[in-house]
Structure 1
């Protein structure tokens, strides 16, 4: 890597591949200055805040809506993620696991159909975000033990309520027709998964809501969320409804920070690959892919022929979100080596970009859409890394809850009214307990993978991992 490339990796404006694809950086929107009145004040100009604003305006055009953003539109996870649009919800089983099968299937149908609805909205509104519904492979791609892991996950998806049509098993030959992994033993094909360019989506969505009459103020960090008022250093917005849409970037609001913490996710993007390399890799359908590692990895083929690949996030002591975007050479190299381990045809590939951000994880590992009518405070989040699709679904849901619409979405088990987030979401333990637990989980997962790499089982580590999984219930 040349010195200039090393420098670029540590420059926020150049390390994020998605940001580089925008035709031009829009001029900064004005700061909030003075005190203004609105019907709805939204804190956070990412996917959750913007989708909420979009659906509120579409349903009730007369509403005065003001969105406050601490930095620039899409500065947080919405402009930095891996670009997966998943027809599932991380933690969905905690909402629907005890429901009858018919109701579980209905809920799974809602989250699966959400992917297609996003595609329809983007087409209707003319947002060119490279949306591509190619499905996803959850492969047993490196170790034989991964076959059992993926078989168990497929059983879980079906038991949860996902259909055989949407989620089904591919044997080694069928898997090889879609992608050429190092050791493709088989895997799950999930039909209801798409990919897109999140920076193009968040930029296009911001421009769209502004055309609908929403006001966005950038560089207007909210310093306090009070009853019917949001304050910044230079002004305030008074509104009967306030939406906190900060997800993994709620560190300034201690009340929310106790319930949803940031976990870092780090991503790389390769150079554009040659036709010959793509022949060797496969993925002609531009599908998404992951293997059965507990140290989660995820990737897909971009519209311009690169691979974007993320893996193995971490938790920072004190629940500090990642404000900058650059990641170090060692983090880039580790993800590049894992990518090549999965897809050996990429040996020698150049990595052009490396960046990271923070996703939001709730204490009980359940995504949520909450509107407390008494206080006028609404919030959504806890997406656990699957927020590109979930933010659209939960933005729609928040709009229905705020407008008191009796809709199918408003009756979903993840939608709550007449209670606050303090009552509905458990608080995380104090530091350093949660940091120590995160380290123990990471090391136990790494130990399990090391044993699988050597063809050995890990029953003790599996029990440790299952125990740690159970304590976040």
Structure 2
């Protein structure tokens, strides 16, 4: 039985803090469930603000075992739907604040890396959203007009301007200046070590089974071999929220795919923007993308998303093989010198998707002193760190300046995900994938 997303990522965290399973009765001032970037950022900022606060971090496996360690390390601005759709749904003022918040989230990760004094494979560079398909020029044009109308610094690149940065025959692109690439597992591991150095306790291999409101104190968290009583709890558990009955709306688990290669030829590395550290995301719906690694290898992801009924769903491995095979072909199409490059890693990861493309960050209805973070919809590297800091500030009673952003909320829209609806979701996702693969 497949118990987790498949394959081994191109990176693994090192020197993780001790994390025995949670046994018996444990207490803490603040319990953080989920040792990914959101949970660890929350614990880190709490420990920074309130030295001596008793903080316990509990994970179903270990730090970086989930999406935070199985990503591909693209650090760029994006939260919620594309900017033109955000304008239509939320109005220009809110759409502008959403984009600027996502830019600040990128900057917060860069500051965090500097503060942790670890490299994390960080390479500052620009991120380009581009297309090789005439069909997707319209979508790029709508976004470009929206950025320009909002006064945001996201310039349009002609095909020639894109090709001076990465030698791929793109027709046009949009340039995000505040961006970088990094090793996501290294960042997650470094954050875990920093938390441990500040006195945060860790428990591993302890999956959350239930959450109860406390009679005399705060929430009671139930694990396979023990219970944790805390004054406050932060559940950074993404789509696992459904499994414990949290009323946070529908956070749909989707599986995404990536491959990494051995070092490519120098000519291909330079042509694809390796020296400058560019990352390129296609404007197609499933957004295939690539980035270069410091060792000269290449990482590609996107292009296919699956909505399996479970981690052991029939036919899931065949879907994975198809996704990896397509990514292999796609990355070789980027440059002639990639025709014989060796793929060294193939892996998948799980993201949490909401019906309206917005995360959920806020207190849980009906559960006093319990907060939830999840549903970043594939844009969680920067936003998870920002959300962890936001919740830490809220727990310390520090008000957020200005009006709350749309994703600072207690729940996402609900969607029935069993029976016929599940099949419709799978069909819709697969149709989008087929459209993307044909156009790219």
TM-score range normalised by the length of the shorter chain: 0.7 to 0.9
Matched, 1:368 2:360: yes
Unaligned runs of 5+ in 2: 214-218
Aligned-partner Cα distance in 1 for 2:220–2:237: 16
Paired position in structure 1 for 2:376: 383
Aligned-partner Cα distance in 2 for 1:28–1:354: 29
Matched, 1:73 2:63: yes
Q: Given the alignment, which residue of 27, 41, 50 partners 2:40?
A: 50
Paired position in structure 1 for 2:159: 172
Paired position in structure 2 for 1:131: 122
Q: How far off is 1:321 after superposition?
A: 9.1
Paired position in structure 2 for 1:440: 427
**Contact (CA 8 Å) 1:397, 1:415: kept in 2 or not?**
no
Count of aligned pairs: 429
Q: Secondary structure at the match of 1:105?
A: helix
Paired position in structure 2 for 1:289: 280
Matches for 1:59-458 after TM superposition, within 5 Å: 59-91=49-81, 101-102=92-93, 104-141=95-132, 143-159=133-149, 161=150, 163=152, 165=153, 167-181=154-168, 183-227=169-213, 228-250=219-241, 252-255=243-246, 259-318=250-309, 320=311, 329-372=321-364, 375-408=368-401, 411-416=404-409, 421=410, 424-446=411-433, 448-449=435-436
Structure 2 CA distance for partners of 1:257 and 1:377, relative to 1, 3 Å: closer
Q: Which whole-Å deviations, capped at 9, do the CAs of 1:14-62 have from their partners, x for residues lacking one?
A: 721112xx5x564752111221211111111111110111111111223
Structure 2 CA distance for partners of 1:38 and 1:97, relative to 1, 3 Å: farther
Q: Secondary structure at the match of 2:155?
A: strand
Q: How far off is 1:220 after superposition?
A: 1.5
Q: How far off is 1:101 after superposition?
A: 4.1
| RMSD of aligned alpha carbons | 3.0
Aligned-partner Cα distance in 1 for 2:151–2:352: 25
Unaligned runs of 5+ in 1: 1-9, 454-473
Q: How far off is 1:207 after superposition?
A: 0.4
Which has the larger displacement, 293-302 or 37-46?
A: 293-302
Which has the larger displacement, 245-254 or 353-362?
A: 245-254
Aligned-partner Cα distance in 2 for 1:219–1:144: 49
Matches for 1:25-40 after TM superposition, within 5 Å: 26=16, 29-40=19-30
Structure 2 CA distance for partners of 1:55 and 1:158, relative to 1, 3 Å: farther
Aligned-partner Cα distance in 2 for 1:48–1:408: 21
Paired position in structure 2 for 1:7: none
Aligned-partner Cα distance in 2 for 1:399–1:118: 16
**Contact (CA 8 Å) 2:124, 2:179: kept in 1 or not?**
yes
